[in-house]
Structure 1
Amino acid sequence: MSGRIIAVWGGSNSGKTTFAVNLACALSTSDRLVGLISSNLTHGDLQVFFGQSVPPQKGLFHALNEDNPNIGEKFTEYAESKNLFFLSAPTHYTGLLCDTVTLREAERMMNAAAFVFDILIVDGAAEATNPISGVGLWLADRIYTLHKPSIAAQMWHEGVSDFVRELHIAEKQIHILQLPNGEFDDKTYRSMMGLPFAYDLPYVKRAGELENAGTPIYFFHDRTCRRYGKVLEQIAKGICGGEAS
């Protein structure tokens, strides 16, 4: 039986990768085997968040391009958790392969990975044309869509509306609001969007510092990070228990 596929989506700078990484951390503490896939085809970003390196013989393009691979061997184990593995472009990578990725390759890879992991998280891209992201959204059981209040976020949401309609994924979306740091009023954004926000994520001032240090927010225990972690635990409980959000 294959595992559940969860997609994380949002516009540029919406905090989706931060959310995907830390949701994976929260899920990995519940004795689930968790796989996290990056849709970034030009830069290996997940290893920055985890403070590790992806060797050339592992990573996203080996998983995509090999026939019937032992897909689990292409993931990198997170050193701090025996249950969490991530798939990203290798740390030293030229980007020459990124234009060769097909939807068929992406679908085959994700279906294979879903048989290895209890929960597979796909960190999506803002661009609707990204093949990893698009297949992840199509196959996902749930799509957590991140919003960082701004005019740009509203424009992104409007810009992908036809894509959402054509893929029939609106009913799978669960909208999450990143509480702003005084840059844009969240009440105004809620009114502008008219969306049901299932969760509010607190603003974490130290997020960038922690990410650059390879320390996931979920495992850092100052007050704000604990508040962020509590929201993740609620979401993880819903995923593991199959509860409606």
Structure 2
Amino acid sequence: MSSKIITVWGKDNSGKTTFAVNLACALANRDHLVGLISSNLIYGDLQVYFGQSIPPEKGLFRALHEDNPNVGEKFMETGESKNLFFLSVPNHYTGLLCDSVSLQSVERLITASSLLFDILLIDGSGDLTNPISGVGLWLAEKVYTLYRPSASAPMWHKGVEDFVQELHIADKQINVMQTPNGEFDDKTFKSLIELSFKYELPFVKQAGELENAGTPVFFYEDRGCRRYSKVLEKISDELCGGTDKYK
């Protein structure tokens, strides 16, 4: 299978990181080598999801700033899957390095990483100025755009229209709705935003608790988690052409 770059995008608090982490787990479970890169330049959120700690000699900034680095050595292994590796900022504060991240260094990093993995996932940002998210959207073969029903989501969607047009990503977008927990009627939301959603993710009550414990939803055998995972399996079928079998 040829290498693919997939970017997950959406407004902040849309559920995109949860989706990106668990989609990566679903793809790695098919015996594909999967890389996952975070666009968060302030806080290392991916290591929380996997119950890991990133030392200073590894992580995102080392991969971006070292001359001719061995990119693969900067990724961290996950405990749940031998096929899944992630790249995030280290645990200690590195926020002062954010301004030194250039588009050229990000493009070089993503291109080099895509050669190491069967599938490379970018966990994008709602911040339109984020360099990793922007380059990831530009290079992606597919963009899964997450929406959580709310009054502000249609405004975000309207506000990024020019950005989507400028990057020419409209034809690559696949809209995914995170089903709300009774906080906002999904039918009302659909009428407001006037989008069609190819996939709808069920609400998982204990998702936050599992994430804080370092357990991805995909690996938890609970009815709600399994319903969420079934959607991820369908998406994995789409990405892999339906030809691969689970381990």
Q: Which TM-score applies when normalising by structure 1?
A: 0.97
CA distance in 1: counterparts of 2:63 and 2:194, whole angstroms: 40
- Equivalent pairs: percent with the same residue? 68
Matched residue, 1:192 = 192
Local SS of the residue matching 1:36:
strand
Matched residue, 2:167 = 167
Measured on the aligned residues, the alpha-carbon RMSD in Å equals 1.2
Is 1:151 the counterpart of 2:151? The answer is: yes
CA distance in 2: counterparts of 1:220 and 1:169, whole angstroms: 34
Matched residue, 2:53 = 53
Question: What is the CA-CA distance between 1:93 and the residue it aligns to?
Answer: 2.4
Matched residue, 2:177 = 177
CA distance in 1: counterparts of 2:108 and 2:94, whole angstroms: 24
> How many residues matched?
243
Unaligned runs of at least 5 residues, structure 2: none
Q: Which TM-score applies when normalising by structure 2?
A: 0.96
Matched residue, 2:224 = 224
Matched residue, 2:12 = 12
Q: Which amino acid aligns with 1:86?
A: F
Question: What is the CA-CA distance between 1:242 and the residue it aligns to?
Answer: 7.4
CA distance in 1: counterparts of 2:27 and 2:225, whole angstroms: 16
Matched residue, 1:108 = 108
Question: What is the CA-CA distance between 1:70 and the residue it aligns to?
Answer: 1.2
Question: What is the CA-CA distance between 1:214 and the residue it aligns to?
Answer: 0.5
Residues 79-123 of structure 1: per-residue CA shift (max 9 Å, x gap):
221100000000112311011101000000000000000000000
CA distance in 1: counterparts of 2:195 and 2:48, whole angstroms: 32
Question: What is the CA-CA distance between 1:153 and the residue it aligns to?
Answer: 1.1
Structure 1 consecutive aligned stretches of length 4 or more whose deviation exceeds 3 Å: none
Matched residue, 2:125 = 125
Contact 1:3–1:115 (CA under 8 A) maintained in structure 2: yes
Q: Which amino acid aligns with 1:231?
A: V
Is 1:212 the counterpart of 2:212? The answer is: yes
Unaligned runs of at least 5 residues, structure 1: none
CA distance in 2: counterparts of 1:239 and 1:95, whole angstroms: 34
CA distance in 1: counterparts of 2:223 and 2:2, whole angstroms: 37
Residues 46-82 of structure 1: per-residue CA shift (max 9 Å, x gap):
0000011111100000111122221111000002211
Contact 1:2–1:115 (CA under 8 A) maintained in structure 2: no
Question: What is the CA-CA distance between 1:194 and the residue it aligns to?
Answer: 1.4
CA distance in 2: counterparts of 1:70 and 1:56, whole angstroms: 15
